[in-house]
Amino acid sequence: MSSFDRESRFSETSSGFSTSSEGSNTSAESYSGSLAGDVSSANSSGMTTGSPGSSTLDQAQEKTDKVIETASSKASEFGDKATQQADAGMEKAASGMDSLADTLRDRSQSMGEGQLQSAAVTAADKLQSGAEMLRQTDTDQLISQLEDMIRQKPVESLLIAAAAGYLFSKALR
């Protein structure tokens, strides 16, 4: 049998395509037989010929909705925890600023009258007002104010961020 006499035919199977080298009886009958088997197996698995895969699509949609709902609730929980931690950190920073202001005031008393005492008192007052501002604003308001300041002064904000990054990298070494 020559290579021209042999004809390869493809028949659809459940796992893909397979080739067979049988004679030249590739007819519509053999192919339609395999299609009929596929249709009957689809009907037996719950699919209807009018809307193929509709129940599978419904199940997939339900699972997708559940995954989205779970991810949304986890993100919300994470956001709430982050906000609580940020608020606690702001309160801790405000307390630290208050104690530093008190220390500056106490030390300024021993400095005597002069520019140094005046500068220490001014710094203590600024720290005190900064602590009060932190206590009066929540995290969302603080972020909004920071965004507004960055929009108003982008170059200065970029320079401050670069300096902070430089100092942070030096501190980690």
Number of domains making up the chain: 3
In angstroms, how far is CA 48 from the centroid of its own chain? Answer: 40
Indicate if the pLDDT at residue 53 is higher than 90: no
Residue 147 has pLDDT above 90, yes or no: yes
Are 142 and 89 in contact, with CB atoms under 8 Å apart? Answer: no
For residue 46, tell me if it sits in a domain: yes
Domain holding 30, by residue range, is 9-52
Instruction: With cut-offs at 50, 70 and 90, classify the pLDDT of residue 102.
Output: very high
Q: Are residues 26 and 42 in the same domain?
A: yes
d(CA 165, CA 158): 10
With bands split at pLDDT 50, 70 and 90, how would you rate the model's confidence at 84? confident
What is the per-residue pLDDT for 5? 42
Confidence band, pLDDT 50/70/90 cuts, at residue 17: very low
User: How many angstroms separate the first and last alpha carbons of the chain?
Assistant: 79
Q: Do the beta carbons of residue 134 and residue 90 sit within 8 Å?
A: yes
Residue 128 shares a structural domain with residue 87: yes
- Compute the average pLDDT of residues 85-113: 88
Q: How confident is the model at residue 156 (pLDDT cuts 50, 70, 90)?
A: very high
Three-state DSSP at 94 gives helix
pLDDT bin (cut points 50, 70, 90) of residue 16 is very low
Residue 2 resides in a domain:
no
Residue 77 has pLDDT above 70, yes or no: yes
pLDDT at 20: 41
* pTM higher than 0.75: no
Whether residue 1 lies inside any domain: the answer is: no
